[in-house]
């Protein structure tokens, strides 16, 4: 059986606040999280991995709407569309880099 994590452990591992983690769940970036018998949220390793990936995307200034598109297609196993989202974002970053290099 895989280990599970509390929201406190997830927050500590990702640097995200409880509110941000709950918000990401609310807007669908995370699949619904199960609850223990006492009502406490119980996150799986895949949830932690997903949140770490989201934080990496956010550090590149990818908008949440684009991250949502990516996560939807990842859930649907539409990997070509996932690649396209990442590739489009890469092109935007490269354009910004060229622009800043000219300054």
Digitized pLDDT (tens) for each residue of the chain, 103 residues in all? 788 999 999 999 999 999 999 999 999 999 888 888 888 889 999 999 999 999 999 999 999 999 999 999 999 999 999 999 999 999 999 999 999 888 7
Alpha carbons within 13 A on the beta-carbon side of 102: 5
Model pLDDT, residue 90:
96
H/E/C letters for each residue in 39-95?
CCEEEEHHHHHHHHHHHHHHHCCCCHHHHHHHHHHHHCCCHHHHHHHHHHHHHHHHH
Contact call for residues 53 and 47 (beta carbons, < 8 A): no
- Report pTM: 0.87
Model pLDDT, residue 58:
96
Model pLDDT, residue 44:
94
Model pLDDT, residue 84:
97
């Amino acid at each position: 059986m895989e280990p599970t994590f509390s929201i406190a452990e997830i927050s500590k591992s990702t640097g995200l606040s409880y509110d941000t983690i709950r918000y990401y769940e609310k807007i669908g970036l995370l699949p619904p999280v199960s609850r223990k018998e006492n009502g406490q949220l119980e996150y799986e390793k895949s949830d932690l991995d997903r949140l770490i990936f989201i934080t990496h995307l956010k550090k590149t200034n990818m908008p949440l709407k684009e991250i949502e598109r990516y996560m939807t297609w990842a859930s649907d196993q539409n990997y070509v569309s996932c690649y396209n989202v990442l590739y489009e974002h890469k092109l935007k970053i490269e354009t910004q880099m060229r622009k800043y290099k000219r300054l």
